[in-house]
Structure 1
Amino acid sequence: MELLTKNLNSKTKKVLHRGMMDNVMEQFNRAANHINLQPNIRKILSITNNEIVVHFPVKMDNGNVEVFKGYRVQHNNALGPYKGGLRYHSTVDIDATRALAMWMTWKTSLAGLPFGGGKGGIQINPLKYSKSELERITRRFTFALADNIGPEHDIPAPDVNTNSQTMAWIADTYMSTRPPAERSANQHVVTGKPAGSGGLEGRDRATGFGVYYSIKLWINNNNDTLKNKRFIVQGFGNVGYWAAFFLEQDGAKLVAVQDAFGSIQNPNGIQVETLFEYTKSNNGSIVDYPEASIIDKDVFFGVDCDIFIPAALGNQITKNNAPNIKAKLLAEGANGPTNIEGEALLIEQGTTIIPDILCNSGGVIASYFEWLQNRNGELWHMEDVMDKLKHKLKNSFDAVATYAQKENIDMRTAAYCIAITRIEKAYVQRGIFP
């Protein structure tokens, strides 16, 4: 379970998401200024290409009908089809989706993928619905999106509160709407599917592995090792768990965790796999884990550690809690977890930030591998996937680290500069129609 934003009124949600949009635009403009981005291309990249809002009815288990609101924002496709996740969360709205779609454009470009950026989801708390209801909601949402998605146009993937099962429902629904002769050729309409239904071996751990590997590369660049490094994780869902799993395998020690329901700490270390198994029997929650102490949610940010991995939702690190953070390395497993004010304070106090569009790009890289696997009718094995993933991650990391050092700028601005320059080059080479 990813960290959920609980008990927010509508006004607070608007402020939260307006902040996310402010963040992404501030980050974009900072990099655009640094590279002297052409004014006309800046205009294009400052807005989204398409914004789809759908309302659709679904019959519940009790026979009643509920009407849901879904979104798909397509930011830019200069480099290829739109690519990005679908999240099921009560805070999903058009502003948040715009920001997340823009981040995906930079992320796919930085990773050197032939994709653009998109994002979407449904404004829903999935905990309130049965599995059969979620299946009907997903299938009806897919039908409502109709031709706004497609394997060569816009390719969704899992995100907060969605998973491989969600993607399997989407793929099946989408293929069922195609002519019989075309159905099997449309399996790559989504990525993140179960391995037995066209999915990629290793896709489940790819994002978390990317977070771990980015940390490892940074540690190696500083002539250090992960052995006995203490780390804390916010969000113990798919990303947080796998990042913690690989870090522990490499000798690091998990000392605190926070999720939607509470925060726990053990300075002597928390066994990652033991905690994960506990959450399975505790409705996905870390609360009351017997091998750790409960701490206040605000105290969590000040836990003594070397590495902090925010792997939950956006805008979690702000001017209010950034001064308490003791970690010298912050690795962004989530999208946009650090706002502008929080980032400025962290940099001022000497904390290095591995930005989201680099740090958590393992998931979209693996999605590209799955898309290729389906498109070419191939089967990729785990060892090949992980080797190719390491290669892509290292190329991106080295490029950002080198650029940041050369230009004497932070890693986020360096990552944006590289990503935006690649898109600018595509527009310059192709021109703008008509």
Structure 2
Amino acid sequence: MGLYPFGKQGGLIMNIFEMAQIPLNKAIETMKLDAGAAAIIAVPERTLEVSIPVKMDDGTTKVFTGYRSQHSTILGPAKGGVRYHQNVSMDEVKTLAFWMTCKCAVAGLPYGGGKGGIIVDPSKLSKAELERLTRGYIDKIAPIIGEKRDIPAPDMNTNAQIMGWMMDEYSKLAGQYEPGFITGKAISVGGSLGRTAATGRGVVVAALEALKLKGIQPHEATAAVQGFGNVGSWTAKLFCDAGVKVIALSDVYGAIFKEDGFDCYDVDAYVKKTGSVIGYPGSKAISNAELLAMEVTVLAPCAIELQLTMENAAAVQASIICEGANGPTTPEADDILEAKGVMVIPDILANGGGVTVSYFEWVQNLYRYFWPEEEVIEKQNALMRKAFKAVYEKAKQYNVTLRVAAYMVALGSLEEAMKIRGMI
């Protein structure tokens, strides 16, 4: 099933999407998904393109193009980030909205998938221009968004400050304070405690569940974490908290190794001072290829796409791969890893912790009642463990990989809701 009629443009994300259709199609065939359900999920419910005129600091006016795609509202309002990047396209936001539909359904959240973006290089705008662009975008997409329609969030090159501007602009349009229309906000305007670490925490919870299945205690396990941004750094730190020995780390500048394990909080402090993990005292410099082939219990790719391929998958020595990044493993690599007996916990399950705590932020905003961080963590862990169990049991039932099983869980939830709602 080809979900969208992509042309030659679109870049890497299109290749990843085509890649994702392989396990998706296998899930559809294995579960014999209703043809009507397949047709419904094959296209987004709504995609809006807008023109945003912005008065620049020099007095000229530039017109920017923005998008918002709502792939599905079958299970609840659309949910998904807004990215600012010069290569954003309509096809890209459609693709990412589809993935959000699957991710939310796997996590058991009452959401569909949405995504937005503006074609812009934000580094070339002043703060004032960026704010005017942000407010203009909300002005244009306001008719289709809202706390019970479509809830945006941060994504590539957007952050809590931009979410604050969006919330303020939407509140002005609505004539009342509307914190529940957006997530990823600062704590002072309705953000949730525990959100910063949420995606990394989800990766670690999924990995610990896999260790449990294999009868391995956390203190007996070792880990290598590729990437030391928000997701990778929190994954590494929370592995340390759980007792897992983290022996290899990397960032865009290179990788480091320490046989007796890192104090990942200390590494984080070092990175905040120096800008990189490279040169961390007591570490040995290694290559990214060596990190991916490290003899560890868990390999957590938390960097960028297409890291495990047919060229390097055979060299992987990890027992478990837990995908913190989106699309780090190609289908060819999946086949090699499956043949080697490596358990791959797919991205749409493993990195679902972020949207899970975004859901908690939304709920807290709706009630205007906020939870302590311990409660947020407890609720996130419970939902992540429930999702992992559902995917693992589906994989066992149908003798498929966890990746295929995750799509089966998502599609099953969507199909059931469609039937109950009379759509099929």
**TM-score greater than 0.5 by the shorter chain:** yes
1:173 and 1:29 mapped to 2: Cα distance? Answer: 41
1:175 and 1:162 mapped to 2: Cα distance? Answer: 19
Matches within 5 A, 1:150-169: 150-169=146-165
Alpha-carbon shift at residue 397 of structure 1 (Å):
1.2
Q: Which residue of 2 aligns with 1:6?
A: none
Map Cα deviations across residues 67-91 of structure 1 (whole Å, 9 max, x no partner): 5443322211111110112233455
1:429 aligns with 2:420: yes
SS of the residue 1:156 aligns to: strand
Conserved in 2, the CA contact under 8 Å of 1:25 and 1:46?
A: no
Conserved in 2, the CA contact under 8 Å of 1:87 and 1:122?
A: yes
- CA separation of 1:274 and 1:137: change in aligned 2, threshold 3 A: farther
Alpha-carbon shift at residue 317 of structure 1 (Å):
2.5
2:103 and 2:398 mapped to 1: Cα distance? Answer: 20
Q: Which residue of 2 aligns with 1:230?
A: 222
Q: Which residue of 2 aligns with 1:355?
A: 346
Alpha-carbon shift at residue 57 of structure 1 (Å):
4.1
SS of the residue 2:219 aligns to: coil
SS of the residue 1:413 aligns to: helix
Q: Which residue of 2 aligns with 1:3?
A: none
Conserved in 2, the CA contact under 8 Å of 1:24 and 1:102?
A: no
Q: Which residue of 2 aligns with 1:56?
A: 52
> 2:38 aligned to 36, 39, 42, which one?
42
SS of the residue 1:227 aligns to: helix
Query: More displaced, 125-134 or 360-369?
Result: 125-134
Map Cα deviations across residues 359-398 of structure 1 (whole Å, 9 max, x no partner): 1111111111111111122121112111111211111111
> 1:213 aligned to 187, 205, 215, which one?
205
Alpha-carbon shift at residue 153 of structure 1 (Å):
1.0
1:22 aligns with 2:18: yes
Q: Which residue of 1 aligns with 2:381?
A: 390
Map Cα deviations across residues 287-310 of structure 1 (whole Å, 9 max, x no partner): 444443443344432233221112
1:59 and 1:265 mapped to 2: Cα distance? Answer: 50
SS of the residue 1:281 aligns to: helix
Q: Which residue of 1 aligns with 2:271?
A: 279
Conserved in 2, the CA contact under 8 Å of 1:84 and 1:157?
A: yes
Matches within 5 A, 1:29-428: 29-59=25-55, 67-178=63-174, 180=175, 183-184=176-177, 186-282=178-274, 284-428=275-419
- CA separation of 1:80 and 1:412: change in aligned 2, threshold 3 A: same
Alpha-carbon shift at residue 35 of structure 1 (Å):
1.0
Map Cα deviations across residues 141-178 of structure 1 (whole Å, 9 max, x no partner): 32332323211111111233333222222111211222
Alpha-carbon shift at residue 54 of structure 1 (Å):
3.3
Alpha-carbon shift at residue 13 of structure 1 (Å):
7.6
- Number of corresponding residues: 418
Map Cα deviations across residues 206-259 of structure 1 (whole Å, 9 max, x no partner): 111111111111111221112152222222222111111110111222222333
Conserved in 2, the CA contact under 8 Å of 1:270 and 1:291?
A: no
* Gaps in structure 2 of 5+ consecutive residues: 1-6
Query: More displaced, 28-37 or 250-259?
Result: 250-259
Q: Which residue of 2 aligns with 1:7?
A: none
Show structure 1 runs of 4+ deviating over 6 A: none
Conserved in 2, the CA contact under 8 Å of 1:208 and 1:242?
A: yes
TM-score normalized with structure 2 length: 0.90
SS of the residue 2:47 aligns to: strand
SS of the residue 1:138 aligns to: helix
1:214 and 1:201 mapped to 2: Cα distance? Answer: 21
Query: More displaced, 298-307 or 214-223?
Result: 298-307
SS of the residue 1:269 aligns to: coil
SS of the residue 2:71 aligns to: strand
1:129 and 1:163 mapped to 2: Cα distance? Answer: 15
Query: More displaced, 250-259 or 392-401?
Result: 250-259
2:60 and 2:149 mapped to 1: Cα distance? Answer: 35
2:36 and 2:239 mapped to 1: Cα distance? Answer: 44
- CA separation of 1:70 and 1:339: change in aligned 2, threshold 3 A: farther
**Paired residue type of 2:73:** N
Conserved in 2, the CA contact under 8 Å of 1:317 and 1:339?
A: yes
- CA separation of 1:249 and 1:15: change in aligned 2, threshold 3 A: same
2:130 and 2:253 mapped to 1: Cα distance? Answer: 22
Alpha-carbon shift at residue 404 of structure 1 (Å):
1.3
**Paired residue type of 1:208:** G
Map Cα deviations across residues 48-72 of structure 1 (whole Å, 9 max, x no partner): 2222333434455566655544332
RMSD over equivalenced CA pairs, Å? 2.5
TM-score normalized with structure 1 length: 0.88
